[in-house]
Structure 1
Amino acid sequence: MSNVNVPALAVFVLFFVLVTAMGFLASRWRRADNALHLDEWGLGGRSFGTWITWFLLGGDLYTAYTFVAVPAAVYATGAAGFFAVPYTIIAYPLVFLFLPRLWSVSRVHGYVTPADFVRGRYGSRPLSLVVALTGILATMPYIALQLVGIQAVLDVLGVGGGANANWFVKDLPLFIAFGVLAAYTYSSGLRAPALIAFVKDTLIYIVIIVAVIYIPIRLGGYGHIFDAAAHKFSAPKSAGSLTVPDNKQWTFATLALGSAMALFMYPHSVTGVLASKSRNTVRRNMAIMPAYSLMLGLLALLGFMAIAADVSKGDKAFNAQLSVPRLFADMFPDWFTGVAFAAIGIGALVPAAIMSIAAANLFTRNVYKEYLKPTATAADETRVAKLVSLLVKVGALVFVLGMDKQAAINLQLLGGLWILQTFVAIVGGLFTRWFHHWALFAGWAAGMTYGTWKAYGIASPATKHFGGNAAEIPGIGETGYIGLTAFVLNLLVAVVLTLVLRAVKAPDGPDETKPGDYRAEAGDDELENAPEPVAAH
């Protein structure tokens, strides 16, 4: 540990202690009369207003991995790494159309998860189960990548010993971060990340604004930065370019569209939405969330700055995931490097907490209560959810420590493909009851099978399987995002089989929702008679 950046580490630890205290104190924030209720622990009492929801969703969607991976992609590939910017621009107008409907029907019927809605809408336990399991499966590698983000910061800080250090000493800081995260999530539920998100998002905005002004001044201006990037990508063996090549434009466009469609299918995204106190809160947030897209565009530029700063120091084996931490360490004073690293570290804790809560909600409501203990009380559900949230974090920690980091990245990309296959059942159900539940189940199975099979067959220099997420689109001949191709197959199977099942008059499951449920707002009759969350002080 001789290379430890002591001032930066001190600032990092200071902020870490601050958010830890906030995490535990959050249990007293708007505390309910009875905290042993899943609405309270898992959804914060469904009481968050516009600003709390905005910070919560921002803290949830813009993660430490975003902070590290988006500039790393730009550093390694150039323009292709900017796909995250258009996809977030597309996402918010898209989800504005259906998330208010999901909030309303969920509030009327007390739904906690997307799988709850699917169960109520289609009357199908199997379809609800696969939606829940897909959500859990897609979330696990996402949680693991938050720990990867923390590891990247700790590596650059010099904490944990060198390459020859004892494995326990090397990973001790990660164990400590995991333990603190697990403890305050167990204690405070969704209130902890909601409160900490204020600190996390504020730090990120400060760091990004300072970085896009201060670093270019040190590097000789944006002209020099783009010249350095152009020089790197013009090299004969370069894997990137400053513009998206003609043969990759379909990949870029389909990846952006597919990612936009998948973003709010993730259970942690839905958890933040369902925690809102009103339908209008959801709508206002979808209108103001694009402010984060501006931040994301500025964040992506850090990849070009890392090229101009030569953070690799000529090391051909340099890990692009370290480009932003190295850039900050090289460009900023030590104390502000600590602030920047704290923003990344806290940016891992907030989404990891929300993701583990969302996965726990899915297991508790759609596996435990549905199949294992139908008579479970609200207190039983809350206790099980708390325990499962711990197990999910343990699984993520074991994954990070026991597997190659590239495997975590590959599985997270695969998770996006998987979660997109729930789109037809969830979003389709918010607007129509036409689809037959067995047709939706078959469409989900077809999309999952095709997408996983195609991804398995892709090799890369770093891995033999799951080495990418783009393949030739059947019938078009262009290369595109596998997840979107699988989604189209999913939709086609669902439509064709629904026509067949309707023609033979196959029995359908009961629909417990009514048309008015999808437009309900606070004060409406539907909500006056709805299951109330536990009253808060």
Structure 2
Amino acid sequence: MSTVTFLAVLGGTSLLAVAARWFRPPPELPTLEDWALARRQFGTPTTWFLLGGTIYTAYTFAAVPGLVYGTGALGFFALQYTVIMCPLAFVLLPRLWSAARRHGYITPADFVRGHYGSPALALVVAATGVLATMPYIALQLVGIRSILSAVGLYPRGALGDLALVAVFAVLAVATYRHGLRAPAIISLMKGAAVFCSILAVSFLVLDRFGGPGPMFDSAERALSGGETTQASLTLDPSQFPVYATLALGSALALLMYPHVLTAAFAASGPDTLRRAAVALPLWTAVLGLFAMLGVAALAAGIQPPSTGAETAVPLLVKDLMPAALTGLVFGALTVGALVPAAVMSIAVATSFVRNIYVEYFHPRATPKHQTRIAQMVSLSTKVGAVVFVFGLRNQDAINLQLLGGVWILQTFPAVALGVFTRRLHPWALLAGWMSGMAAGTLLVVHSGFSSLVPLGVGGQEIQAYAAVVAMTLNLTVVVTLTPLFNRVARTHTPASSSPVPLPPEAETIT
């Protein structure tokens, strides 16, 4: 029965994806803005579902409770970073949208190109976004495959791989034809399925343990008696730096991903984004319920495979729920992977076309030609993600995604700070980006692909999130070099000549 329900959810999602052409039909002449941003006409409900479905991925819903199961209180940092992210989104996204709408920007690198007048800085922002997003797409498939395998809904061998490819192929075709409209309409089903399933699971879990108090007590005893003696549901003071830097760095990095900004740019206006941002904490509440399931898995004595703590909650769901509801939950998680994967592929394709292909290879490409290339790149991105999943280890995708989070945060000074000031020199931003990228990569690789690195502060060694350490170096370089580059620019400007006016794109956003 669970398989029937699971297939019914996927079948309904596939029908919605195919029917996306009726969701605000495109004009006769295709344009990249229409394909990638749906003509910037999504209202508040659609924007809220699309942003939530893009930010809160299926892997997040599986990894956060798995982290709570394995590490205890430290795993709850994900709730804090989504709480921090919401006010940042309220302030930052409407300003970026206003600049994008005024000047016709489609990607964050477009904004950097126009704001600073620096093709080199725009290129590194676009390339960083592409590199950071590609493993994120593969990670969605990795998470889904491991979850479904753990609960017996993923057939062994080639049959299971073909089933996953078939589901992904329907989405690929729908996205190829209809662009952002396909994941936008699927996000409506994702929201409904995720909200309903987590409420049902939470009710059954609390009913089984007699409330949250007994459940947390049982989980604490399970943690204290486990192999990881340092794990606890109470945060130790020595973990405060790790917790704080993970929460802050993850919140700042999340809003820099191209797929999040693509979903934001598709809104109908800045007020739409503000209303959607105000309601985003509802998604955080859902994530909190998923995190609570990690506690419930500890209390229930669930024993996942040694290599996959993220399967603890799926095993708990299979153990607690009726077969029909089990299929609904895993169907919701699978749909939850399709929405962000589709938006990510669109964002990658758009960044490549606008900021690499047109900028350096085909400056006179027509809007129709740009759209066709973006469609092909989007399709190739999905094929590449599937090949990556089947050809490499799951850990490879996780390692690259960890690096991606470090990399994407290094674009924060150029993109986010550029919204509020134009005093930063583009060459200083470029030097800061290079420093942050090099330092962050070396820190993560040297620590064995761990995002946490040791630091010596005040004679004591603490751990911190590598992305925050790298961005601190990045900002230090930017702040130090900006006055020097500005002084050099003034020195080489003839005294008799008037200053060169900045382009309209570099106007401060008000």
Q: Determine the structure 2 residue equivalent to 1:114.
A: 108
Contact 1:182 1:390 in 2 (8 A): yes
Deviations 1:366-386 (A, max 9, x none): 001111100011111110111
Deviation at 1:148, TM superposition (A): 1.6
Q: Determine the structure 2 residue equivalent to 1:329.
A: 318
Of 375, 378, 390 in structure 1, the residue corresponding to residue 379 of structure 2 is 390
Task: Give the Cα separation in 1 of the matches to 2:457 and 2:259.
Answer: 32
Deviations 1:391-437 (A, max 9, x none): 11122112211222122122212211111000000112111111111
Residue 505 of structure 1: SS of its match in structure 2?
helix
Which amino acid in 2 is paired with 1:284? R
Task: Give the Cα separation in 2 of the matches to 1:155 and 1:455.
Answer: 30
Which amino acid in 2 is paired with 1:496? T
Q: Determine the structure 2 residue equivalent to 1:491.
A: 475
Which amino acid in 2 is paired with 1:486? A
User: What is the Cα-based RMSD across aligned positions, in Å?
Assistant: 1.9
Which amino acid in 1 is paired with 2:469? T
Deviation at 1:217, TM superposition (A): 1.1
Task: Give the Cα separation in 2 of the matches to 1:102 and 1:253.
Answer: 26
Q: Determine the structure 2 residue equivalent to 1:532.
A: none
Show the 5 A alignment for 1:485-524: 485-505=469-489, 511-513=502-504, 518-519=509-510
Residue 293 of structure 2: SS of its match in structure 1?
helix
Which amino acid in 1 is paired with 2:240? Q
Task: Give the Cα separation in 1 of the matches to 2:418 and 2:98.
Answer: 13
Q: Determine the structure 1 residue equivalent to 2:361.
A: 372
Q: Determine the structure 2 residue equivalent to 1:524.
A: none
Of 213, 217, 239 in structure 2, the residue corresponding to residue 227 of structure 1 is 217
Task: Give the Cα separation in 2 of the matches to 1:340 and 1:405.
Answer: 23
Of 174, 181, 197 in structure 1, the residue corresponding to residue 187 of structure 2 is 197
Contact 1:41 1:382 in 2 (8 A): yes
Q: Determine the structure 2 residue equivalent to 1:358.
A: 347
Residue 454 of structure 2: SS of its match in structure 1?
strand
Deviation at 1:159, TM superposition (A): 4.0
Which amino acid in 1 is paired with 2:207? I
2:419 counterpart of 1:425: no
Q: Determine the structure 2 residue equivalent to 1:535.
A: none
Task: Give the Cα separation in 2 of the matches to 1:455 and 1:300.
Answer: 26
Deviation at 1:190, TM superposition (A): 0.3
Q: Determine the structure 2 residue equivalent to 1:309.
A: 300
Q: Determine the structure 2 residue equivalent to 1:14.
A: 8
Contact 2:454 2:461 in 1 (8 A): no
Task: Give the Cα separation in 1 of the matches to 2:268 and 2:507.
Answer: 18
Contact 2:209 2:215 in 1 (8 A): yes
Task: Give the Cα separation in 2 of the matches to 1:17 and 1:29.
Answer: 19
Task: Give the Cα separation in 2 of the matches to 1:153 and 1:456.
Answer: 27
2:169 counterpart of 1:179: yes
Deviation at 1:261, TM superposition (A): 0.8
Moved more, 151-160 or 322-331: 151-160
Deviation at 1:469, TM superposition (A): 3.1
Deviation at 1:178, TM superposition (A): 2.0
Which amino acid in 2 is paired with 1:235? G
Which amino acid in 2 is paired with 1:443? G
Deviations 1:499-535 (A, max 9, x none): 111122267997433687734xxxxxxxxxxxxxxxx
Show the 5 A alignment for 1:129-528: 129-162=123-156, 165=157, 168-235=158-225, 237-238=227-228, 239-312=230-303, 317=306, 319-458=308-447, 465-472=448-455, 477-505=461-489, 511-513=502-504, 518-519=509-510
Task: Give the Cα separation in 1 of the matches to 2:417 and 2:35.
Answer: 29
Task: Give the Cα separation in 2 of the matches to 1:492 and 1:258.
Answer: 16
Kindly tell me: are residues 410 and 469 of structure 1, through their superposed partners in 2, closer, same or farther at Cα, counting changes over 3 Å? farther
Deviation at 1:279, TM superposition (A): 1.3
Task: Give the Cα separation in 2 of the matches to 1:160 and 1:272.
Answer: 31
Give structure 1 stretches of 5+ with no counterpart: 1-6, 459-464, 520-537
Contact 1:153 1:344 in 2 (8 A): no
Kindly tell me: are residues 516 and 279 of structure 1, through their superposed partners in 2, closer, same or farther at Cα, counting changes over 3 Å? farther
Task: Give the Cα separation in 2 of the matches to 1:310 and 1:176.
Answer: 35
Question: Normalization by structure 1: what TM-score?
Answer: 0.90
Contact 2:190 2:332 in 1 (8 A): yes
Which amino acid in 2 is paired with 1:104? S
Q: Determine the structure 1 residue equivalent to 2:67.
A: 73
Kindly tell me: are residues 452 and 514 of structure 1, through their superposed partners in 2, closer, same or farther at Cα, counting changes over 3 Å? closer
Kindly tell me: are residues 404 and 474 of structure 1, through their superposed partners in 2, closer, same or farther at Cα, counting changes over 3 Å? farther
Which amino acid in 2 is paired with 1:202? A
Contact 1:421 1:487 in 2 (8 A): yes
Task: Give the Cα separation in 1 of the matches to 2:413 and 2:29.
Answer: 35
Which amino acid in 1 is paired with 2:104? G
Which amino acid in 2 is paired with 1:423? F
Task: Give the Cα separation in 2 of the matches to 1:15 and 1:316.
Answer: 27
Kindly tell me: are residues 157 and 173 of structure 1, through their superposed partners in 2, closer, same or farther at Cα, counting changes over 3 Å? farther
Deviations 1:426-474 (A, max 9, x none): 112111111111110000000000000000011xxxxxx3133333266
Contact 2:451 2:465 in 1 (8 A): no
Which amino acid in 2 is paired with 1:245? D
Contact 1:143 1:356 in 2 (8 A): yes
Task: Give the Cα separation in 1 of the matches to 2:220 and 2:428.
Answer: 50
Residue 111 of structure 2: SS of its match in structure 1?
helix
Which amino acid in 2 is paired with 1:468? S
Task: Give the Cα separation in 1 of the matches to 2:324 and 2:44.
Answer: 33
Which amino acid in 1 is paired with 2:100? S
Task: Give the Cα separation in 2 of the matches to 1:509 and 1:281.
Answer: 37
Task: Give the Cα separation in 2 of the matches to 1:258 and 1:37.
Answer: 35
Task: Give the Cα separation in 2 of the matches to 1:110 and 1:470.
Answer: 41
Task: Give the Cα separation in 1 of the matches to 2:306 and 2:273.
Answer: 45
